[in-house]
Amino acid sequence: MTGDGTTGEAVVSLRGVRADLGSRPVLRGIDLTVHRGEVVALLGANGSGKSTAIRTIIGQVPVSAGEVELFGTPRGRFRDWARVGYVPQRTTAAGGVPATVTEIVSSGRLSRARFGVLRKADHAAVRRALELVGMADRAKDSVNALSGGQHQRVLIARALAAEPELLIMDEPMAGVDLASQEVLARTLREQVASGATVLLVLHELGPLEPLIDRAVVLRDGCVLHDGPPPKALGQHALPGHDHVHPHAPTRTGLLS
Amino acid sequence: MDILDYAFMQRALLAAVLVGITAPAIGIYLVQRRQALMGDGIGHVAMTGVGLGFLLSASPVWMATAVSVLGAILMELIRWYGRTRGDIALAMLFYGGMAGGVMFINLAPGGSNANLTSYLFGSLSTVSESDVTAICLLAGFVVLVTLGLRRQLFAVSQDEEFARVTGLPVRALNLLTAVTAAVTVTVAMRVVGLLLVSALMVVPVAAAQQLSRSFAATFAIAVAIGVTVTIGGTVTSYYEDVPPGATIVLLTIGAFMVLTALATPLARRRARTAAAARPAPDPAECAIPAARAADGKVGV
C-alpha cells in the first residue's frame, strides 16, 4: 500500500507469455506486472485465459513462449516458494480421505518446514492462519463437515500458513456465502495492510472492490485493459446483484 | 497355540502381519488421490514379472517387484503426458501385463497356469524362507516411505497443484507413491494374491473412514483393521482349510459393513454433541450482536 505501486519492485512479471492447452492457444502473448504492495485483479469472461495465466505463474501450465518471473527470478529457477501463497480454484478442500482443518492448513506450512517436520513455531503459524480466517474453533473438525464458504476459508488459511509476501488466488469468492465473503474481504484487507502483494482472479469485483489497485482484463488470451478497475464491472458488486455459481459438490475444481 | 509350532505358519503369519500394515499404509494415499484402483492395475502388470521369474528361473517375488515398479513408473508417465488417451494406454498396460504373465509361464519349462494360481489368489503355506526375507525388506521400505514422508505425501495426494507451490518435488513424490504401491503389491502377492491385493489397499481405508474425522486417525484405524483381518484370515484358513486370500478379503469387507452399520448412530450422536457444545450454531449468525460476540472470543 505505497499509494504509487508502479514504482515498487516487480513481484510477478509476465512478458509476451503464450500457452496452449492441447492444440488450442489459450494465452496469446500477455504482459502483466504486479509490483510490491499492489492488489491486482485479473478479470475476464470464462475461457478468457485468466486461470491459465495464473497457472503459468505457478508452473502448473507450461509456457510455449515468453518469460515468467517471480521476485525477479525466472520461474524455472525460482525456489523460494515460502514467499508465495496460492489459493487454487476449488469448491472443496476435501480429498478422498477424511482430514481435519488443521491437517489441511498444515500442508501450507511445508514450504517453510525442513524435511516436512513441523516445529512449535510452525504449529503456531498454522493456528494464526486459522484465526485470521475465523476458523480456529473448527480446527479439529473434518473438512467434510464444512460449508462451501468455510472450505474457501480453509484454502486461504492454507495459503497464509507459510506467511507469504505474495498471495495468488484463483476465484476465491466463487460459491462463497455472504458471511464468508465478508470474512475473506477482511482477511485480505489485513494482509494488504501488512504489506502483502496480491494477484487474484475474479469473476466480478464484488466485496473486494475497495481493495483493488488495478484491474487487468483478459479476452481471448490477450490483455484488453490494464488500469483502474473498470466501472461497469463494479456495478456487479452492488448489493442485490446476486451471482449464483452452481458447482457439483464432488468436483475438486473446474480445471482439475 | 499349536498353530505356531509349524515353521510354515510362523512365516505365513509374519507375512500376513506385514501385508496388513503395508497395504492400507500406501492404500490410504491412493484413496486420497482418488486412484483406488491403481493397485489392481499394478497387480495385473506384476503377473508378467511372475511369469518371467518362472521362465528365467529367477525369484518370482523379485522379478514381480522389478516389473511392477517399471509398470508403476510407466503408469505415472502416462498420467503426465497422455492426458486425453491416458485411460486407453493404461488399459493396454494392464491387460498386456496379464497376458504376458500367462504367456511366459506357459513358455517356462514345466510351467503351467497352475503355478500362476498361487500368485493370483495367494498361497500362504508355500511362503518360503527367501520369500519372507524379501517381504520383510520390501515392507520395511513401504513403512519408511508412508510414515517418514507422510506430510509430503498427504499434501501431494490432497492437492497436487497446491503442493507444487509449496516447493515440494511433486513429480518425484508421485513416482515414489507409484513405486511404493508396486512394492506393496509384491509384498502382498504371496498372502492375498495379485488379483485381490487392491482390496487390502482400499477396503480397510474405506472402513476406517466410517469412524474417523482426521487423516491420522484414518491411517491408524486402517492399519489396525488390516492387521486384524490378515491375522484373522490366516488363522481361519489354517483351521478351516479355506483359501487365505479370499478369507482375508471377505473378512475385510465384513469389517467394512459392520463399521458402516455402527457408524451411522455414532455420527448422529457426534453431531448432537457438537451442536450442544456450540451454543451459537448457524441460525444465530443472523443475529448481529451474537455474531460479534462470537467473533470477539475468537480474536482473543
Q: Do B154 and A108 touch (CB under 8 A)?
A: no
Q: Do B159 and A88 touch (CB under 8 A)?
A: yes
Contacts A83 to B, Cβ<8 Å:
none
| Position B284 pLDDT exceeds 60 | no
| Residue A143: closest C-alpha in chain B | B213
| Position B142 pLDDT exceeds 80 | yes
Contacts A100 to B, Cβ<8 Å:
213-215
pLDDT band with cut points at 50, 70 and 90 for residue B274: low
Q: Do B151 and A113 touch (CB under 8 A)?
A: yes
Q: Are A118 and A106 in contact (CB under 8 A)?
A: yes
Which of B166, B212, B285 has the CB atom closest to A111's CB atom? B166
Distance (Å, whole) CA A162 – CA A112: 6
Q: Is B241 exposed, middle or buried (CB count within 10 Å of its CB: 0-12, 13-18, 19+)?
A: exposed
3-state secondary structure of A39: strand
Cα–Cα distances (Å) from A9 to A37, A72, A145, A164, A168, in that order, read: 9, 8, 42, 16, 17
Q: Are A175 and A143 in contact (CB under 8 A)?
A: no
The verdict on B216 touching A (C-beta cutoff 8 Å) is yes
- Tell me, what's the pLDDT at B295? 42
Using one digit for the tens of pLDDT, what is the confidence trace for B90-132?
A: 888 889 999 999 999 889 887 777 778 888 888 877 788 888 9
Q: Do B295 and A106 touch (CB under 8 A)?
A: no
For residue A235, give the DSSP letter: G
The verdict on B251 touching A (C-beta cutoff 8 Å) is no
Interface test with A, best of B165, B202, B259, B295 (most A CBs within 10 A): B165
ipTM of the complex model: 0.83
**Mean pLDDT for back-to-back runs of 10 residues, chain A (256 residues):** 58 92 87 92 88 90 91 90 91 89 94 84 93 91 88 93 93 81 87 91 83 90 85 50 46 39
Distance (Å, whole) CA B156 – CA B199: 23
Tell me the shortest Cα–Cα distance from B219 to chain A, in angstroms.
Answer: 9
Q: Do B154 and A100 touch (CB under 8 A)?
A: no
Cα–Cα distances (Å) from B267 to A56, A72, B152, B209, B270, in that order, read: 43, 51, 30, 12, 5
Q: Are A16 and A31 in contact (CB under 8 A)?
A: yes
Q: Do A99 and B161 touch (CB under 8 A)?
A: no
For residue A230, give the DSSP letter: P
pLDDT band with cut points at 50, 70 and 90 for residue B80: confident
Distance (Å, whole) CA B80 – CA A227: 38
| Position B211 pLDDT exceeds 70 | yes
| Position B298 pLDDT exceeds 50 | no
Q: Which of residues 35-74 of A touch B (CB under 8 A)?
A: 55, 58-60
Give B58 or B140, the one with higher predicted confidence: B140
Q: Is B181 left (phi over 0), alpha (psi -120 to 50) or beta?
A: alpha
Tell me the shortest Cα–Cα distance from B230 to chain A, in angstroms.
Answer: 22
Which of B200, B283, B298 has its CA nearest to residue B245? B200
| Residue A102: closest C-alpha in chain B | B214
| Residue B159: closest C-alpha in chain A | A95
Query: What residue type is B223 in one-letter code?
Result: V
Q: Do B164 and A59 touch (CB under 8 A)?
A: yes
Contacts A79 to B, Cβ<8 Å:
167
Whole-number mean pLDDT of chain B? 85
Tell me the shortest Cα–Cα distance from A105 to chain B, in angstroms.
Answer: 10
The verdict on A24 touching B (C-beta cutoff 8 Å) is no
Distance (Å, whole) CA A24 – CA A109: 36
- Tell me, what's the pLDDT at B278? 57
Tell me the shortest Cα–Cα distance from A222 to chain B, in angstroms.
Answer: 24
> What percent of chain B has pLDDT above 90?
50
The verdict on B52 touching A (C-beta cutoff 8 Å) is no
Q: Do B164 and A103 touch (CB under 8 A)?
A: no
Which of B94, B64, B98 has its CA nearest to residue B190? B64
Using one digit for the tens of pLDDT, what is the confidence trace for B49-60?
A: 999 998 998 888
Q: Are B134 and B63 in contact (CB under 8 A)?
A: no
